[in-house]
Structure 1
Amino acid sequence: MTALLDLDVAVEAGNWSDSEQEAITGAVKAALLAAAEDGALWDEEDEKSLLDQVGLIEISVTLSDDASVRELNRDYRGKDAPTNVLSFAALESDEDASDFAMAPDMPLMLGDIVIARETCEREALEQNKPLLHHLIHLSVHGTLHLVGYDHMVDDEAEHMEQLERHILAGMGIDDPYAPIEDQDVETGQ
């Protein structure tokens, strides 16, 4: 991927450190590179990823809190509860990539990612992992959603999780899907 990345990371609410913001930025970049290599947003006509055809990619990451994410989750997904990360993709699939037409100097706007601080802290504690590693994982996960990956069916979920593992391993982060030490694999407790 040779495109420049215009990444806007904004703190809306919560206590987000500079090092967390930098790590999230690195995670988004790593996810985009891996997704391009994996053929995300594949354009059949040009036989390459849309990510390799543009000069500039735009993504917005909002670092927020449970209250804001709960409202977004309710309004856009019909789930009245906070969640760890939400992604709002501008393009939904490879079909959108093949049909996507833009001027050569126009940026490719991939979408928005919103991360909830309290949910991430709680999950990291429950999963006995460093908060920073969890935030990086969720940033990778959210970015992959922006470029068309999903986990609604088993095959797609397996592929997305494998790509996440690959990206995170490259960043020195353990498998986020491995069972937690001393946790029963069947019950999750």
Structure 2
Amino acid sequence: MLCDVVIEDDRWQAAGLEHLAERAARATLEHLSLDPEAWEISVLGCDDARIAALNEDFRDKPQPTNVLSWPSEERGAEAAGVRPGLPVSGPDPELGDIAIAWETCLREAAEGDKSLADHVTHLIVHAVLHLLGYDHLRDQDATLMETTEVEILGKLGVSDPY
């Protein structure tokens, strides 16, 4: 199992977070020619209060957000618009940690007229790409990340979220 999912908010259980996270993470790694069996990702299904505390602790932003990610190591590309180098499997298979917030995801899905499953799938793909060094701070990096997300989501039957 690629994803070790911890459910803090029981609503995630009913939504199938474990299945959604595993499917999205596997598709992301496979798209980038990485073996999902060689890696581990921890996923926390929490509520807005918990993610707001995490967001404040780690980003000095005391408000909820949809998803947060903590890569096990820095993997970003130095040049804008360049794909980050792929990690090499070794003795530590941990790619990093992800937290996803129930209320924010549910609200965003409704506002975007998307199914919760599709929105969560998109956010997990997005977070896994962050674990792999993708980012969206620079315009060229954002374009690369969004294009990669759309390609992966298309393979999963999820419409372009942008």
- 1:55 deviates by 6.7
- 1:14 deviates by 4.0
CA deviations 1:66-102 (Å, max 9, x no partner) are: 000000000100101000000000121257x98x898
Matches within 5 A, 1:1-150: 6-16=2-12, 17=14, 19-34=16-31, 36-37=32-33, 51=34, 56-93=38-75, 104=90, 106-150=91-135
Distance 1:18 1:131, change over 3 A: closer
- State whether residues 6 and 59 of structure 1, in contact with CA within 8 Å, keep that contact through their aligned partners in structure 2: yes
Moved more, 7-16 or 77-86: 7-16
Report the equivalent of 1:174: 159
Aligned length: 154
- 1:125 deviates by 0.7
- State whether residues 62 and 115 of structure 1, in contact with CA within 8 Å, keep that contact through their aligned partners in structure 2: yes
TM-score (norm 2): 0.86
Q: Output the amino acid matched with 2:94.
A: M
Report the equivalent of 2:136: 151
CA deviations 1:82-130 (Å, max 9, x no partner) are: 00000000121257x98x898x5x2321100000000000001111111
- 1:6 deviates by 3.5
Distance 1:129 1:6, change over 3 A: closer
Q: Output the amino acid matched with 2:55.
A: N
Report the equivalent of 2:145: 160
CA deviations 1:22-80 (Å, max 9, x no partner) are: 1221001101112x34xxxxxxxxxxxxx46x972111011110000000000100101
State the Cα RMSD in Å. 2.3
Distance 1:55 1:175, change over 3 A: closer
Distance 1:142 1:94, change over 3 A: closer
Q: Output the amino acid matched with 2:141.
A: E
Between the aligned residues of both structures, percent identity stands at 43
- State whether residues 55 and 107 of structure 1, in contact with CA within 8 Å, keep that contact through their aligned partners in structure 2: no
Distance 1:119 1:176, change over 3 A: same
Q: Distance in 2 between matches of 1:18 and 1:125?
A: 15
Q: In terms of Rg, which structure is larger? A: 1
- 1:153 deviates by 0.3
Question: Helix, strand or coil: the match of 1:73?
Answer: helix
Q: Output the amino acid matched with 2:11.
A: N
Q: Distance in 2 between matches of 1:123 and 1:156?
A: 23
Structure 1: gaps (5+ residues)? 38-50, 178-189
